[in-house]
């Protein structure tokens, strides 16, 4: 059993449960500097040649940033943390990175960053639990468990706690949203 993005290629070798998180939960998110601009509300308003968009070199985030904001200038850094640091230092208007990093960065640095598209990602996908082909009993059990845990609020609350809050940061030596 493993959790992963649902793709047609993977569906050839495994069967997936029902998705257990919202479709837009994972993918590439965007954070924008409050110091440079507060007017970014949609993709077109960020897709400008006078704006610099930061992302991590050779990453999915860099690919999505280039596709989504072709008119913007792009700068690539060695890590997602360095790309967000560029925004905080005023070297870039925005950073694109894999969720939940942009959300956690904006929560940890609310005075300097905001998420112009809310919780929507640029390329959200479905995530589910992968089960070996032919293991119908386990698939049925997991699907029923997902339905019950969504309905009783446990899965949405766990998702909010781990991916949309910093409540758990005190339990870590080096939380992901802190530079």
For residue 77, the SS3 value is strand
Q: Which residue has the higher pLDDT, 68 or 123?
A: 68
Distance CA 40, CA 30 (A): 11
Q: Residue 141: how many CA atoms within 13 Å on its side-chain side?
A: 6
Host H or E run for residue 87: helix 80-88
Q: Looking at the predicted structure, is the pLDDT value of residue 1 above 60?
A: no
Separation CA 121–CA 164 (nearest Å) = 13
pLDDT class of 169 with cuts at 50, 70, 90:
confident
Model pLDDT for residues 128-147, shown as the tens digit of each residue:
899 999 999 999 999 999 99
Q: Is the pLDDT of residue 178 over 80?
A: no
pTM > 0.95: yes or no: no
């Amino acid at each position: 059993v493993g959790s992963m993005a649902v793709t047609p290629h993977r569906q050839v070798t495994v069967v997936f449960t029902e998705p257990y998180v919202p479709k837009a939960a994972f993918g590439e998110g965007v954070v924008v500097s409050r110091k440079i601009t507060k007017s970014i509300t949609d993709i077109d308003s960020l897709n400008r040649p006078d704006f610099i968009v930061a992302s991590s070199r050779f990453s999915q985030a860099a690919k999505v940033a280039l596709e989504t904001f072709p008119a913007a200038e792009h700068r690539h850094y060695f890590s997602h943390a360095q790309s967000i640091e560029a925004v905080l230092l005023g070297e870039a208007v925005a950073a694109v990175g894999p969720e939940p990093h942009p959300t956690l960065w904006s929560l940890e640095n609310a005075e300097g960053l905001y998420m112009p598209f809310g919780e929507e990602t640029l390329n959200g996908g479905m995530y589910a639990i992968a089960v070996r082909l032919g293991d119908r009993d386990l698939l049925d059990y997991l699907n029923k468990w997902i339905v019950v845990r969504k309905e009783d609020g446990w899965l949405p609350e766990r998702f909010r706690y781990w991916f949309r809050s910093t409540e758990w940061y005190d339990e870590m030596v080096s939380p992901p949203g802190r530079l």
